[in-house]
Chain A
Amino acid sequence: MRLFRHELRSQLRLYSRSRELAFFTFALPLIMFFLLGSVYGNDRIKSEQNVRAADYLLAGMLGYGAIATGFAGLSIMLVIRRESGILKRVRATPLPAWAYVVALLCTTLIAFALEAICMVALGRLYFHTHTHNLFSLGLALLLGAAAFTALGLALTSLIRSAEGSSAVVNAIYLPVSFLSGAFFSPHSFPAALKAIANALPLVYVIRLVRDIALHNQQIWDRPGDVAVIAAWGLAGAIVAARRFRWEPQEG
């Protein structure tokens, strides 16, 4: 436990020192929210029960933040650490593997929690959004972000090089965010695209967040969505547990 606390402190410091990562996963979703909100925040979305666009967008942006921080940021950072050999070196010390991994996941979740707080605050102050049921909302975001970190860990085992990592990761999470309606309502998307989106976890995260924050529901009113997200997270955790590598590709 002492080792875990030591590692968590170190990981938080490392995270806060990494400017690229902080921008990519932390600031970018906030900036997107600000930009998109300024463009169409005051519209009403007819296809979505006439809700205010800013409210609608906030849920999408929280989901986008979860996938950017938990999935994209984590996996890029880990692949870089693995390929530079730092993970291999850590394995030669008496630090238990679980302590390293859990500290890293906690760091990621803490970063996302801060980001989500900033996002909700930005919405309140600037776009006059309304967010209900903060407790349920927090649980839903925690669930979503945790599932994405598990998927992010799993993804690292499929990426071969540090150079390729951001290309692969961007090619996955940006289209997924787009398809899942993080940026605007997917109402007018062709059926095929909708079908793809409905197979992916982000749609369920965003819908859950929206139902809670906007339609005044609680997380336990939505067991179906929760189950899909948890199942994706579990699948990611299983792949990660089986395939996670500490050593760089060349051995």
Chain B
Amino acid sequence: MTPVVSVHGVTKSYGEFEALKGVEFELRAGEVFGLLGPNGAGKTTTIEILEGYRRRDGGEVQVLGVDPADAGLDWRARIGVVLQSSAVYENLTVAEQLAQFAGYYERPRPVDEVIGLIGLEEKRDARARRLSGGQRRRLDLGLALVGDPELIFLDEPTTGFDPGARRRAWETIRSLSALGKTTLLTTHYLDEVEQLADRVAVLREGRVVASGTVQELVGGAPTTEIRYRRNGEVVVVETEEPTRVLHELTAAAIRRGEELDGLEVRKPSLEEVYLSLTQAEPE
């Protein structure tokens, strides 16, 4: 199956500064793909190249079979976009705004259905200037969905959402994926990635430093952590050979006739893996 989005060796400089240094990844139909990375890693630059807003300097990009640098209006009808900073007409109500954008598409989703998806029923007839920051962001998400796109680009879509709204947004994105739609999502919330993303790529200083499913990322980390308490103090052992180390530890404890209090063996969390990928000194 041809990928919905493919990105190969993409480079982009702003003046002297190289923001992207050969980014690689692919999105398969129907998946939710998470693009992670610290501030300034190049997530927005990448996503805006895919949306057709920015020009790349080098490399190959295909989005829905087309190079976004010269894509037309038909192509735009098939994508939905949430930009990193919200933008809505201040003087239109939620319903009017969605109806205005719905009018740009051949087969839009019904406005009231979208209002339900973003949970703004009570603000249906409120002007955007009277919405809270998170509600405005939800309206922004609604504008991206109203055209019923097959591919959705979300640049930090749930920033400012309360926990309930975030869960509802996750539900919405999952339901899109169940309908076969593809989502590219950037976020700084690792729980969002764990909940939503089928696969992720971690960007750091303009390069993909890791990619795969969340399980692969976590499972691929070489070290395992073994913790126990001895004389009231927590002992942490990090090892790449957990079987041997654990055997020696427990054997020694049995010989001494001790119990290893609070014994725990675990793989690092996604957060720990993420931090080690993005903070360790580059080789």
Chain A interface residues toward B at CB < 8 A: 3, 6-7, 10, 13-14, 17-18, 84-86, 88-89, 91-96, 247, 251
18 interchain pairs (CB within 8 A)?
A3-B103, A6-B104, A7-B103, A13-B92, A13-B96, A14-B92, A18-B91, A85-B86, A88-B53, A88-B83, A88-B87, A89-B87, A92-B51, A93-B76, A93-B105, A94-B74, A94-B77, A95-B73
Residues of B within 8 A of A251 (CB): 54
B250 interfacial by beta-carbon distance below 8 Å: no
B73–A96 contact, CB under 8 A?
yes
Chain B interface residues toward A at CB < 8 A: 51, 53-54, 73-74, 76-77, 79, 81, 83, 85-92, 96, 100-101, 103-105, 143, 147
Q: Do A93 and B104 contact each other (CB < 8 Å), given the known contacts A84-B87, A86-B87, A88-B53?
A: yes
Tell me, in angstroms, the Cα distance from A85 to B90 when the chains sit together: 12
A85–B85 contact, CB under 8 A?
yes
Q: Do A10 and B87 contact each other (CB < 8 Å), given the known contacts A93-B76, A94-B74, A96-B73?
A: no
Q: Do A14 and B81 contact each other (CB < 8 Å), given the known contacts A6-B103, A93-B101?
A: no
A interface, over-half SS: helix
B88–A95 contact, CB under 8 A?
no
With both chains docked as a complex, state the minimum distance between the C-beta of A96 and any C-beta of chain B, in angstroms: 6
With both chains docked as a complex, state the minimum distance between the C-beta of B66 and any C-beta of chain A, in angstroms: 14
Cβ contact of A89, chosen from B77, B81, B91, B147, cutoff 8 A: B81
Residues of A within 8 A of B85 (CB): 85
Q: Which residue of A lies closest to B140 (CB)?
A: A89
Q: Which residue of A lies closest to B54 (CB)?
A: A251
Residues of B within 8 A of A95 (CB): 73, 104
Residues of A within 8 A of B76 (CB): 92-94
B104–A17 contact, CB under 8 A?
no
With both chains docked as a complex, state the minimum distance between the C-beta of B279 and any C-beta of chain A, in angstroms: 27
A86–B101 contact, CB under 8 A?
no
With both chains docked as a complex, state the minimum distance between the C-beta of A7 and any C-beta of chain B, in angstroms: 8
Q: Which residue of B lies closest to A80 (CB)?
A: B90
Given A85-B83, A86-B88, A92-B76; 15 other pairs, CB 8 A cutoff? A3-B104, A14-B91, A14-B92, A84-B90, A85-B87, A91-B53, A92-B51, A92-B53, A92-B79, A93-B76, A93-B147, A94-B74, A94-B104, A96-B73, A247-B53
